[in-house]
Structure 1
């Protein structure tokens, strides 16, 4: 699945916090050579759900990706929102290479499309699942912004962005691409995904129902003023509220993308480890349900 952030926004936490939050410990995860903090290394086993899914799928092969149902909210496009800078995303294009896993439930992400709006300090925010026929031009313009393209690597014609979206929309529901709509205006792109069923799970000690976030902020006017941090905190807490089985929200911004890493730190995520992914060296960021009122 997706990439990794490009300037979510500068946030307030300095990049030096990476070295002080939970310094890396020994204990490579999933053969990647990545170190994790002492708490996270306790869970070095495949999730029970994943084991059951593989058992069901024994002897078969297939594709993967993700799915999300669209919801109309009117035309989402003003030109001023189209010039977007990169956001927060995890460069893992390997989603199409993941072995097929049939969902055990109706929906692997508890029906993101039905979560509804949430109040934030900057306005009412709503995750609206992408509809290609409605949203492709807007998302393509955002992906062609140089600040976004540097990390998402999806610049080019609409067909490039469409392929990335279709891999999720035509898949099994493990990732749902969404527009972030603030007070009725589409201003960001999000991917909410099952980290424990993603290629990322090969690189850290995943726990059942870990939920991942990728984000990019669409317009230049919305960057560099703390908006990304505010929305990251709001969406992470929205995930925890709507997914009672999920104990952690995770993200893997590129270590080079210091504005994005700082935004996650300011949003109440903790730095857990440095992780070597196929396309980048990432900062594994974690927002724990148990710590959400403390960070």
Structure 2
């Protein structure tokens, strides 16, 4: 999670002047993800139908992961990506097309990574990616196990950072994964080692620091939350 105040409000209707590529316009016009490639798993199967998981009751309020809808969410997410504190680690600053291309890669895939808005008491305030780590390139860099599930996140507004909220929501999200993915034994994350507040938030949420791993774009802390120990940490 980004370490500094961005000045963005998580409840604002941040928008950008969007000049979208033709394939994104087609996606918006369709109102949904395009059809999966032939032979791909049924929609949502790889992550046990995340869209139907429902909310979690947390000390901060009712929290839900809502799969991204481009026509509703792109402007907000692109604005968050242009916060310097976020851009330092996500590297998606720039025109909305940059964020659109990042989202499109997931939305046109087979469902192994699902981009989501994090909504707290009805207010969109964070961006999440829930992904099958065992099917992701990251599996080449650590001893992956079948059904490992990964988490990426950013907290959108500076006012929501630095108060332990990230820790609360990470714990809730890891619990959602373990509750709704019965064959998943571990939730993993690979935050940049330089992002000390993010690593600390994962530790506070019951993840353990397992290793340092060298990824193509960063040196990362491998954080793991084990199903077997979920109620002990």
C-alpha displacement of 1:105: 5.6
Aligned residue pairs total: 207
C-alpha displacement of 1:82: 5.1
Aligned to 2:111: 173
1:62-117 per-residue CA deviation (whole Å, 9 max, x = no partner) reads: xxxxxxxxxxxxxxx742x859xxxxxxxxxxxxxxxx995456510011111011
Question: Is 1:127–1:179's contact at 8 Å kept on the other side of the alignment?
Answer: yes
Against the structure 1 CA distance between its residues 255 and 111, is the aligned structure 2 distance closer, same or farther, given a 3 Å change threshold?
Answer: same
Superposition RMSD in Å: 2.0
Aligned to 2:27: none
Residues 197-236 of structure 1: pairs in structure 2 closer than 5 A: 197-236=135-174
Separation (CA, whole Å) in 2 of partners of 1:202 and 1:213 = 17
Aligned to 2:73: 135
SS in 1 for 2:151: strand
User: Higher relative contact order by CA 8 Å / sep ≥ 6: 1 or 2?
Assistant: 1
C-alpha displacement of 1:200: 0.4
Aligned to 1:192: 130
If the length of structure 1 is used for normalisation, what is the TM-score?
0.67
If the length of structure 2 is used for normalisation, what is the TM-score?
0.85
C-alpha displacement of 1:6: 2.7
Moved over 4 A (4+): 100-106
Which of the residues 40, 60, 82 maps onto 1:144?
A: 82
Separation (CA, whole Å) in 2 of partners of 1:8 and 1:181 = 21
Against the structure 1 CA distance between its residues 117 and 267, is the aligned structure 2 distance closer, same or farther, given a 3 Å change threshold?
Answer: same
SS in 2 for 1:139: helix
Structure 2: gaps spanning 5 or more residues? 16-36
Against the structure 1 CA distance between its residues 8 and 102, is the aligned structure 2 distance closer, same or farther, given a 3 Å change threshold?
Answer: farther
Question: Is 2:4–2:85's contact at 8 Å kept on the other side of the alignment?
Answer: no
1:111 aligns with 2:38: no
1:160-218 per-residue CA deviation (whole Å, 9 max, x = no partner) reads: 00000000001110000000000000000000000000000000010000000000001
Separation (CA, whole Å) in 2 of partners of 1:78 and 1:110 = 29
1:285 aligns with 2:220: no
C-alpha displacement of 1:118: 1.0
Structure number with the higher strand fraction is 2
Which of the residues 181, 197, 201 maps onto 1:263?
A: 201
1:245 aligns with 2:183: yes
Against the structure 1 CA distance between its residues 8 and 231, is the aligned structure 2 distance closer, same or farther, given a 3 Å change threshold?
Answer: farther
Against the structure 1 CA distance between its residues 261 and 279, is the aligned structure 2 distance closer, same or farther, given a 3 Å change threshold?
Answer: same
Separation (CA, whole Å) in 2 of partners of 1:192 and 1:227 = 18
1:239-262 per-residue CA deviation (whole Å, 9 max, x = no partner) reads: 000000000000000001100000
Which of the residues 59, 80, 90 maps onto 1:121?
A: 59
1:6 aligns with 2:11: no
Question: Is 1:236–1:249's contact at 8 Å kept on the other side of the alignment?
Answer: yes
Separation (CA, whole Å) in 2 of partners of 1:105 and 1:131 = 19
